[in-house]
Structures are given as C-alpha cells and as structure tokens.
Chains A and B, each alone.
Chain A
Amino acid sequence: MRKALDGLYGAALIASVMAMVTIAGLVLFQVAGRIIDRVLGWFGADALGLSVPSLAEIGGFLFVASAFLALPATLRAAGHVRVTMLARALPPTGARALTLLVVAAATALGLFAAWHSWLQTLDSWQFNSVSFGMIRIPLWLPQGGMTLGLVIFAVALTDELVAALRGRDPAFIAAEASKSIDAMEGH
C-alpha cells in the first residue's frame, strides 16, 4: 500500500514536470520560428510562419496541469507554506493534537476542492464546452488535469491524516524538520 501510494505521488510529480517542460519546448519552438522568419526576411526569402497555434491557451492549460499535479509531492516534501510558530511553542503532545486538527481540516478542504473540480469537469464534458482559440480543445481535458491533481492531493492528505491518527508523524512534519536552504526558491 505504502509503495503504491508513493508511486502515485511520484507519477503525478513526473506528469507535472513533463507539463512544465512541454511549455518550455513549445515556447522555444515559437521563438525559434520567429527568429528563422526574421533571418529569412533579411535575405528576402518568404517567412515560413512556423508557430504554435493557440499557444497562449495551451500554455495556460499546461500550467494548470503542472501546478495541480505537483500538489501531493509538494505536500509531502513540506513545500507548501504554513505558519509553524504555534506548533513549535507547544509541548509534543499538544503539537501532535494540533497537527491532527490541521490535517483533518485540510483533508476536508481537499475533498471539497477535488469534488467540486470534478463536478466542473463533468459539466464541461456534458455540455461539450470547448476553448475559444484556433484549436478548439474540449475543456474537460485540461480541467480533468486539475481534477486529477486535486484528487491525488486529497488522497495524500487522507494518507497523512491516517498517519497522524495512528500516532505517527505525517511525512510533511518529518520533511519540515529536515528542510534545507536548497528548497527556498520562491520566497
């Protein structure tokens, strides 16, 4: 079970990284196309017009997928921001009870987020909603990426809740204790 769950979070992170690298690849292709056209223009040749249609839209979709699919791994690596002042000031039993309370509240909110994101995806599927750009992408696809990320996030939160209920330290607590300066990008 542990192995399967860790595999799930790892796979979601790899998908997130792939979405991010795809954005870079598409944008690079677009920039290269523009440079080639300009160089061709200097020699009086016709522009090739290499470009990625609907890049702005696809980029936004990939950003959402990348951001949400990394949620579980970031949670377990203690990447998400929270204020730990009170937890540090409390004695160990109090801190443990506080962790339990916080993880329980977070799990409830995580389930709320996943459920309503799923309903939105279902809506887009039923009404055949598509994007506005040159390429009409059915909206359930990118919204499904967001839902998938939130569902796995809810699973990861439940996983942490179970650990806390069994009296063990959740993964994010252990990660917070050993956090290094290498993980400070973004602040």
Chain B
Amino acid sequence: MDLGILSLILVAVLFICLALGLWVGFALTAVGLAAMVLATSAPVGAVFATKVWGALNIWDLTALPMFIWMGEILFRSRLSSDMFRGLAPFTRRLPGGLLHVNILGCALFAAVSGSSAATTATVGRMSLPELRSRGYDDRMSIGTLAGSGTFGFLIPPSIILIVYGAATEQSIARLFLAGVLPGLMLAVMFSGYTMIWATLNKHRMPPQEPPAPLREKLRGALLLLPTLALIVCVIGSIYAGLASPTEAAVVGVVGALAISLASNGLTRAGLWDSVRGAAMTTCMIAFILAGAAFLTGAMGYTGIPRSLAAWIGEQQFSPYALLAALLLFFIVLGFFLDGISIVVLTTSVILPMVLAAGIDPIWFGIFLVLVVEMSQITPPVGFNLFVLQSITGRDIFSIARYALPFFLILVLATVMLTVFPQIALWLPSTMMAR
C-alpha cells in the first residue's frame, strides 16, 4: 500500500478512536493493529507481546513510581500550608506582592514533584483562598497559578522526562539537569511579567503590606528548610553522580515520609492513599506506554517514520523551520491531548525525523516539555485547567483566558530555548562524567 494513503488511514483511525473516548493506551494499540494488518504479514499478537514486555521491563522506569510516590506523600503533608506561610514574608514588598508566592511555591514544589497538575493543586489549595481574602485580583491569582503549575514537568524530577528518556533511551539524569535552567528562566519571566502587570494595574492590587519583621522571615525560612534540604539531596545526588534517578527518588520517598511524620501530617490512611495513588498513576502512564510501545513497533514495520525522516533529510529544511512547524502542530494537538500522550506519539513517529534534522535529543526533550506545558493550560483538555476548575469552581475557558499571558510567555521561552540551546544543554555538560 502507498505510504501516503496508509498514513492518512492511520491518522484517521487514531483521531476517531480518541474522539470516541477510547482509552489512550487502547487507541494507540488500535492504530498499531490497523498498521500491521494493512501493511505487513508479521504475526501481530506476538509483536504486541514482545514490544510491550520489552519496552516496560526497564530499570529506568522504576524511577517513575518512586518519584510519583514521593509527590503523593508530600501532596498529603502540611507542605502546602507551610509553603505559603514560609514564602509570604519574603514576597510581600515586591511589586505584585503575594502573587509571587504562586510562582515561587510552584517552582519549589516542582522540585520535589514530577507532575504539573499535582503542583498546581498543592500550591493552589492554600494560596488561592489566602490571596482572595487579602483582596488580590482573582484573574491574576488564577493566571499566575495556572502558568506556574506547569513547572512541575520542567523542573526535575519530571514524569514527562522519565517517560521521554525511557522511550528514547536517553539518560534521565541528563534530561533532568537540562530542565533546571529553563525552569528557573521561566520562573523569572513569570515573576517579571507579574511585576510589570502589578506596576501598570495598581488600582487592581490591594494596598501594599508593611515589610515583614525579621522574626517572621526567619520563621518562614525555617518552615521551608526541610523541603529545600530534600531538593538538594535528591537533585544534588543525581548531579554529583552519587545516585541514579531511581536511587535518588527512593531517598526522596524516605525524606518525604520523615518530613510528613515530623510535622504530624501523615496518618495511616494517608499513607495507604499515597501508595495506592502512586500505583494507579504509574499504571495509567504504563498503560499509555504499552500502547505506544506496540505502536512504535508497528510503525517500524510500515516504514513510515523512516521515510518521513528520509524526506526531511532530503528537503534540507532549516531546523528552525522544522521546529516552528512542530511547535504549531503540538499546540494544536495540545488542545485535545494530555502531555504524556503527546510525548509517546512523538517518540513513536516524529523522533526519527527530528534526529535526521540534526537536532539534539536531550534538547528536544526540553522543547517537548515546554510544548506539553502549553497543552496543560489550553482548553478544552488541559489538566491544570481541570485542577483549577475544581479548586475555584470557574469554567475552564475563563481560567484559560486568565492563563493566556502565561501561555504566550511559554511560547516566548520556547523561542529563546531554540535560539539559545545552551540554556538547556549547558548544565548537563558540566555534570560529572560517569
């Protein structure tokens, strides 16, 4: 069969399955089945079993449940209230005031959690009611939170980067480090925008509070100390080459348990909920990975990714043109799909083409995360929007409108990352060689 027609059929099958509401893992399996039945005579079932087994039976993936568990424990601890009380004394005098708690709080929690929606939920549960009671503009409170919540995927640990690393056989440690500087850069950009907005819209800001006394600042710093120590242990040990991501994650689980126990924030029921939640989230991701593994194998039989890559190679496109086209494509895809599904679809079909264009796979992982972050805050399917909807009771389209400036900043950050790839690649290059 002609590859062009086959590709069209497969894209149609994918979109019909997804639109009908078939689970993503099964939708990917169905596309793989269609591809193999139409294009090959290879034994479909045997390929399915070997590909799924081979792609999931991987040591690197054990980092996934461990980091998710760590996040689940901290999500149930008193961290979110501690974070607000700890950060507030420091940001009071800045233009934009406590709105910066959203940004800094998300950056901090993102460094112990690999999930954007969990980051949004943890910070938002505490900060949104507090900001409202102090007279902050609701639209800006929700917008900063929706934007900053997306740090969860960029600042290590990151579930998306583990999935990408396992699917593309890249070093997860390097991917993690590559996310650090872009994450900090985004935090600075969000904070900068908030300051400018607050200066221009003084009438929509509450009156400035007096500076916090030193004692309050010290008490705040003390509340943040355990979290900071945990971040240094987990990310630091990966950077220094002392621990693999899984080992660092397990140390993180122990640390998270210790912090929760010390602050009396963990009950027996909470502990069970955390392991149960971690097992189910891991399962949800693994199901999508299983479908994607079979799809990748099936696509290999059809030869579509190979010929796409060859075609791109012949066209001599500039990488910028290719990335611009991909960015647009991903933003559209992000309206309808969640982040992990976008990543696995990319690694199944698009990655050979990207590599053929001479693009660094580690850098591309960070590019992909930025795109996935955008998908988190674009309606109608965006998980940060869902979280904020359930916290605030507003509909997702209004929330998406409040988040629009931050969406545009994400696009700008992606452009900067493309022009200056060293923002991502410098830190992993300084990592101690192993």
Interfacial residues, chain A to chain B (CB-CB below 8 A): 13, 16-17, 20-21, 23-24, 27-28, 30-31, 55-57, 59-64, 66-68, 70-71, 73-74, 77, 79-87, 98-99, 101-102, 105-106, 109-110, 112-113, 115-117, 119-120, 142-143, 146, 180-187
Contacts and interface: CB of A to CB of B under 8 A. Distances in A.
Contacts of A180: 390
Nearest to B383: A187
Given A24-B69, A59-B62, A102 B21 contact: yes
Interface of B: 17-26, 29-30, 33, 45-46, 48-50, 52-53, 56-59, 61-62, 64-66, 68-69, 71-72, 75, 113, 115-118, 120-121, 125, 159, 243, 246-247, 250-251, 253-254, 273, 275-288, 336-341, 376, 380-381, 383, 386-387, 390-391
A186 B26 contact: no
Contacts of B386: 181, 184
A51 B90 CA distance: 45
A186 B275 contact: no
B236 to A, nearest CB: 15
A99 B326 CA distance: 33
Given A60-B62, A116-B46, A13 B276 contact: yes
Contact of A186 (B18, B48, B284): B284
A110 B117 CA distance: 29
B61 A63 contact: yes
- Which 8 A-B pairs give the minimum distances between C-beta atoms? A67-B286, A187-B383, A70-B283, A116-B45, A184-B117, A120-B49, A186-B281, A187-B117
Main SS of chain B's interface residues? helix
Contacts of B113: 185
Contacts of A185: 68, 71-72, 75, 113, 115, 117-118, 277-278, 281
Nearest to A183: B277
Contact of A112 (B45, B280, B341, B376): B45
A102 B20 contact: yes
Main SS of chain A's interface residues? helix
B121 A186 contact: no
13 contacts: A23-B66, A56-B59, A60-B59, A67-B283, A81-B284, A98-B21, A116-B46, A116-B48, A117-B52, A120-B50, A180-B390, A186-B159, A187-B118
Given A116-B48, A187-B115, A187-B116, A77 B247 contact: no
Contact of A16 (B24, B75, B283, B383): B283
B341 A86 contact: no
A83 B21 contact: yes
Contacts of B243: 31
A86 B381 CA distance: 12
A185 B70 CA distance: 11
B284 A63 contact: no
Contacts of A68: 283, 286
Contacts of A73: 280, 283
Contacts of B250: 24, 27-28, 31
Nearest to B17: A105
Given A82-B21, A186-B117, 13 more contacts: A66-B283, A70-B280, A74-B280, A79-B284, A98-B20, A102-B20, A110-B26, A180-B390, A181-B125, A185-B278, A186-B115, A187-B118, A187-B376
